[in-house]
Amino acid sequence: MRTKIKELRKERKLSQEDLALAVGTTRQTITSIETGKYIASLPLAYKISHYFGMAIEDVFDLSEYLDEGGV
């Protein structure tokens, strides 16, 4: 899944570790989400989006999943 986490982090000059600590996860998980290897759980996606003050769909690109489900 594509996300805008990396861009948002760079804009705010945040390290992966700072973001991980703020949203209650590990740096490795943030790396995995950024590279698309791991899909964040709904609570984690909410926490990350809330941290950046945005909606989930603005941070996480859900289009491929919405197309698959025929929505």
Partner 1 sequence: MENYRERIKRRMALLSAWILLTAGLGIYNVFCTADETGVPEIFGFQCGLACGLSLCALLLLLRYGRALKDERGLQKLYNQEHDKRMKAVRAKAGVPMVPILSFIMMGVGMVMGYTNSVIFYTLTAAAMGQLLVSSAAKLVYLRRM
Q: How many other C-beta atoms lie within 10 A of the C-beta of residue 10?
A: 9
Rounded Cα gap, residues 54 and 17, in angstroms = 20
Binding window for partner 1 (CB under 8 A); candidates: 6-14, 20-28, 54-62, 63-71: 20-28
Judged by CB under 8 A, which of 10, 13, 24, 70 binds partner 1? 24
* DSSP letter, residue 3: B
Which 27-46 positions form the footprint of partner 1 (CB under 8 A)?
Answer: 28-29, 32, 37-38, 41, 44
Q: How many other C-beta atoms lie within 10 A of the C-beta of residue 17?
A: 11
Query: Does 63 help bind partner 1 (rule: CB under 8 A)?
Result: no
Judged by CB under 8 A, which of 2, 11, 15, 21 binds partner 1? 21
